[in-house]
Structure 1
Amino acid sequence: MDSNRTPSDLTSVTQLVLHERRSRDRGWWDEQRECFAPDSTVRVSWFRGTGDEFVTQSEKLAANGEDAAHTVGPPVVDLHGDRALAEVPCRMDLHTNLDDTPVTLSCHARLLYRAERRADRWLIVALDPVYERDSLTSRTPGAQLNVDEKDLAPFRRSYRMLAYLLGRRGYSIEDDLYGDDQPEPVAALHRSAWAWLRGN
């Protein structure tokens, strides 16, 4: 951590990542796009690319009726000069249908943001979630979900319902995402993030 950090920097980075999530949920696409640097990278379950492309694809997802909402906890922010790391606990709830049954997919993750101050403005330069666990429940009391355990077997434990559901909806979900079921890649991500923060 930087001994020269100021409360205003901590507040700016905290508000940056919170505004990015809020604008995603509210459909404020221009505001969300302004949170990302032009050369930013985003790597989530269903998308890999720039921040600008991520916002565009998120808008298309919402237009297709995918009703997602994110509940976030307080960010933990570490600063070093003009760079910052922010880790945000997050639960994503996706309301959709499995066959003809209304369901809610709840996915728990930690969002790791890298941010830089450029021209006196903090911008997100990278976003990497670490997936923890997920669940799929019916929104209709008493309704049974027809999910075969064999269909879940190919997917990783930390995001298997997410991969299963989005896979059925035509999205290709990679099996190399960061997740608590594979601790070493997560540890490597944090080592890389700390090295980046210190400029190494």
Structure 2
Amino acid sequence: MTQDLLDRLTIRDLIENWALWRDAGDWERFATVWHDDGVMMATWFQGPAREFIRVTQEGWDKGVSILHFLGGTSIDLVGDRAIVQTKMTISQRGDVQGVLCDVVCTGRFYDFVEKRNGRWGLVLRQPIYEKDRVDPLDPMAKLHLDQAAMATFPKGYRHLAYIQTQIGYAVKLDMPQLTGTEVEQLYTRGASWLAGEKLGA
């Protein structure tokens, strides 16, 4: 087996472990997928991975239900750095104005991954939010969404942002979507980082 193939298999394993361990509440192993300076970006949280783990545990204990499902992965590998894109869905269950619903958002994880001292780990995870929808668990339930409030959220994660604000989260409104300035800037940032530049803010 070549080193290139071994690295790619290890990276893919890392990405899959993130979803499995996070969604299973296996916090000790979940912490191992990150480097110490790892950063997580999400609609409802932006900051150090260690803080992300803490607030995710707190949400878990309060009954917040957010699950992930992964699809195909594309890895751009240059030496000890990689940009990894993985198709995914984020599924969040919660109360929307008295109706229990599932919100499903389809997109990609865009990950900055690096090998340090022989170990691959996540440096930055930035999801790309492509489209979403909301479905009542009871198909006969009548769901009345506040259309004015909905219109204030980005199209790619409008329903996800809506349900997250309903349960008290402050949602970031300029996350990358399928197209637009934010995702183009992300691609540029990824290419620069692969070329050896510092990650920066």
Under a length normalisation based on structure 2, what TM-score does the superposition of the two structures give?
0.93
Asked if the contact 2:154/2:174 (under 8 Å) is kept, the reply is no
Counterpart amino acid of residue 137 in structure 2: R
- 1:50 and 1:102 map into 2 onto residues whose CA distance is 31
Three-state SS of the structure 2 residue aligned to 1:74 is strand
Map of 1:1-200 to 2, 5 A cutoff?
6-180=4-178, 182-200=179-197
Deviation at 1:42, TM superposition (A): 1.2
Shift >4 Å, 4+ stretches: none
Q: Which runs of 5+ in 2 are unaligned?
A: none
- 1:81 and 1:96 map into 2 onto residues whose CA distance is 43
What CA deviation, in whole Å up to 9, does each residue of 1:76-131 have, x standing for no partner?
11111111111011111112222332110111111001111111110100000111
What CA deviation, in whole Å up to 9, does each residue of 1:38-74 have, x standing for no partner?
1111111000111111111111111111122211102
- 1:82 and 1:60 map into 2 onto residues whose CA distance is 34
Alignment RMSD: 1.3
Between 119-128 and 64-73, report the one with greater CA deviation.
64-73
Deviation at 1:148, TM superposition (A): 2.5
Under a length normalisation based on structure 1, what TM-score does the superposition of the two structures give?
0.93
Deviation at 1:160, TM superposition (A): 1.0
